[in-house]
Amino acid sequence: MDKLVEKNSDESLLAVEKQLLRRGLIFIRNLNKKDFLNKYKKDTTKGLLEIIDFCKFSDTYYSRSKKKQCDFASFRSFGDLFRIMRYYYPGITFKEVRSILLHLINERFISTTWCYDIKKRVVMINSGDLKERAVWKKQSIQSWDSYTRERNVDEFNLV
């Protein structure tokens, strides 16, 4: 089965990044930025996995207004995850976050599903051992291919 690869131009990814940044950054309640960076500064892949996992247990807030963005136990979209990553990693780009997400999908560390509440593709961590991930990997890429024929991958019409 083929792996997922980025098919969008740098220009389109940069346009999405600018659109997301106009919405403002998001932080996770109870995830201290300094402590997080002490642990994950050099490993953005592990940092993103930690963020995805942490969202299961904590609300997220807009960094400017401090208003609640989303309740705990909710899965987050690609756009939300970029805005959270940008809060904790100020120099990271949308292209870099998306590349990490595609890598994690290909390696079956995460899955995506359509959220009918917010009308966006959302991300969740897969549980299980490596054998289970190998089976999930094959099924996920098949369902991803089927999904992309039906809907856009995320809220920005990126496939």
| Nearest alpha carbon to residue 141 among 114, 87, 105 | 105
CATH label, 10-150, candidates 1.10.10.10, 3.30.565.10, 3.40.630.30, 1.10.3720.10: 1.10.10.10
* Mean pLDDT for the stretch of residues 37-59: 94
Residue spans per domain, the chain: 10-150
7-28: average pLDDT? 94
Spacing of C-alpha 115 from chain mean position: 14
- Determine the Cα–Cα distance for residues 64 and 82; give it in Å rounded to an integer: 16
141, pLDDT greater than 80: no
Q: What is the pLDDT of residues 86-96, one digit of tens each?
A: 999 999 999 99
Count of beta carbons in the 10 Å neighbourhood of residue 79:
21
For residues 70 and 28, give the distance between their C-alpha atoms in angstroms, rounded to a whole number: 10
Cα distances from 92 to residues 13, 87, 114, 117, in angstroms, run 13, 9, 25, 28
Where is average pLDDT lowest: 21-25, 88-92, 124-128? 124-128
**Is the pLDDT score of 13 beyond 70?**
yes
d(CA 89, CA 112): 23
In the prediction, which pLDDT does 97 show? 96
Average pLDDT of span 119-126: 87
Query: If you compute the radius of gyration of the chain from its CA atoms, what whole number of angstroms results?
Result: 15
What is this structure's pTM? 0.82
